[in-house]
Amino acid sequence: MALESFQLPITDFHIGNETRRNLVLICVPIMAESVDQMLVQMQKAKDFGGDLVELRVDFLKNFVPRQDLDILIKQAPLPTLVTYRPRWEGGQYDGDESKRREALRLAMELGADYIDIELKVAHDFFNSLPGKRPEKVKIIVSSHNYERTPSVKELSHLVARIQATGADIVKIATTAVDIIDNARIFQVLVHSQVPMIGLVMGERGLMSRILAAKFGGFLTFGSLEAGLVSAPGQPTVKELLDLYNMRLIGPDTKVYGVIGNPIGHSKSPHIYNASFKSSSFNGIYLPLLVDDVSTFITTYSAPDFAGYSYTIPHKEAGLKCCDEVDPIAKAIGAISCMIKRSTEGKLIGYNIDYLGGIAAIEEELRVSNGATLASGSPLAGKTFVIIGAGGAGKALAYGAYEKGARIVVANRTYDKAKELASKVQGQALTLAELNDFCPEEGMILVNTTPVGMEPRTEETPVSKETLKHYSLVFDAVYTPKLTRLLREAKQSGATIVYGTEMFINQAFIQFEMFTGLPAPKQLIRDVLAITT
């Protein structure tokens, strides 16, 4: 099921001095154990930029409904949504059902702006309301699926069932087994005729929480701090506003992202979203935890899904999904960037890994050798040892070979090392052989594997003893910036090149490919310095 093209009204809204492209509310869950703690958290929610607070009264210890709700609702600095979630729907309350519903009716009387009632008991709840309910309050009827995301047909029927209860606002929260599950929620959300909250839980559902602003969701949830979440995969308020520029996302916003697995460590969203904002470019850049590239590309085929970066382990799979491939990327056998040509919808694949990495290594060699650009590439004639034969390894092998270096490829699987080495007239080694490999001094070592990347930061691909034979060591890993490999290389006397330098050079090139605008180079450097 592909995400179809859609069209919503495009309007810029002006609220105070703020221009925004959507009216999606950011709701902050308040889940403290005491009323006093909730009051403190509500003020923080306002200070952080939230639009309303969800009072999760099922978290309160010794909850006294009339007393506590009166204080919370009347002293709230933001509009309030009262939720009293039972355990059978993923909440904390495990008591008498009639008392729970009575507390929600009381919240309505005391002036809550919204209350949430579960679909399972919605008919009974509405029937229990005494006559005309307060005009101010809106009732959200919710359904939570903690196992999967149903089909579009099933979701549409679910929306109809919720509407039939008399709900003012429909809420459906499902669980992402795969990132393509978000597309089904988007499909239902964009065609909904009533106000709707449609979210997908879990890390693979993150895009649903951010793109609610693009597809017309009524609200999205943002926690006060990381880990303090009311549902899996929930970003913080600050991430929604400062990292993903939530207020600036509209129906016509172009979607970009980095495709990988794992992906939570990526700094790319920080760099591109800050750059988009500074350049007034109407785009959003997301971390995309993808299991199968082909399925992802087929599912998100709408024109507004406009381009992607590729990282481990999907660089080679990405190439197979392209309609056209740049000759350099074809020679490398992997892509690092995919652009959708807007006029035809064709996907064009590029590999800019080698440009970013080789440029960073050459620059450091020139500095250490006192060479100039006019003297040619300092890589010429050098022995260039690459650890890893995946997409990044292929890119750097190709790039160094083009500069005149002698290539040696070391890989866990010898056959893969041999296959890559044969393409660049090089030599293949196993990783075990690498520790004893020393045909000469002053070689260059490049790690393109994830060894040493967060969270396994104490791992390294080679022994410290081996590093004394190298004059320069480059690690494509950039989280952390100073890996164990680079730390030990520096202690051994080698010049080191951070993976961030390759990343920065790539970012300059890729930003311009995505937007057609000059890259804000200093901003990109500043953002990366802050986030690493």
Look up residue 75 and give its two tokens: 């002293």
Q: Specify whether the CB–CB gap between 451 and 460 falls below 8 A.
A: yes
Whether 168 is catalytic: no
Q: Specify whether the CB–CB gap between 502 and 476 falls below 8 A.
A: yes
Residue 348: φ, ψ to 5°:
-110, 130
Whether 353 is catalytic: yes
> At 200, which amino acid appears?
V
Q: Distance of CA 115 to CAs 70, 79, 106, 122, 228, Å? A: 14, 11, 10, 12, 21
Whether 144 is catalytic: yes
Whether 469 is catalytic: no
Q: Which of 144, 214, 403, 481 is catalytic?
A: 144
Q: Phi/psi zone of residue 452: left (φ > 0), alpha (ψ -120 to 50 degrees), beta? A: left
Q: Phi/psi zone of residue 82: left (φ > 0), alpha (ψ -120 to 50 degrees), beta? A: beta
Q: Specify whether the CB–CB gap between 416 and 333 falls below 8 A.
A: no
Strand bridging mode 80-83 / 52-56:
parallel
Q: Could you tell me which residues are beta bridge partners of residue 409? A: 386, 428
Q: Which of 68, 116, 181, 353 is catalytic?
A: 353
Rounded distance between C-alpha atoms, residue 278 and residue 377, angstroms: 35
Q: Specify whether the CB–CB gap between 58 and 30 falls below 8 A.
A: no
Q: Which of 254, 267, 315, 469 is catalytic?
A: 315
Q: Specify whether the CB–CB gap between 235 and 198 falls below 8 A.
A: no
Q: What is the DSSP string of 263-295?
A: -TT--HHHHHHHHHHHTT--EEEEEEE-S-HHH
Q: Specify whether the CB–CB gap between 157 and 181 falls below 8 A.
A: no
Query: Cα(first)–Cα(last) distance of the chain, in Å?
Result: 38
> Which spans in 151-224 are helix H?
152-164, 181-191, 206-210, 212-215
Rounded distance between C-alpha atoms, residue 321 and residue 326, angstroms: 13
SS3 449: coil
Q: Which of 58, 171, 304, 403 is catalytic?
A: 171
- So which residues are the catalytic ones? 144, 171, 315, 353
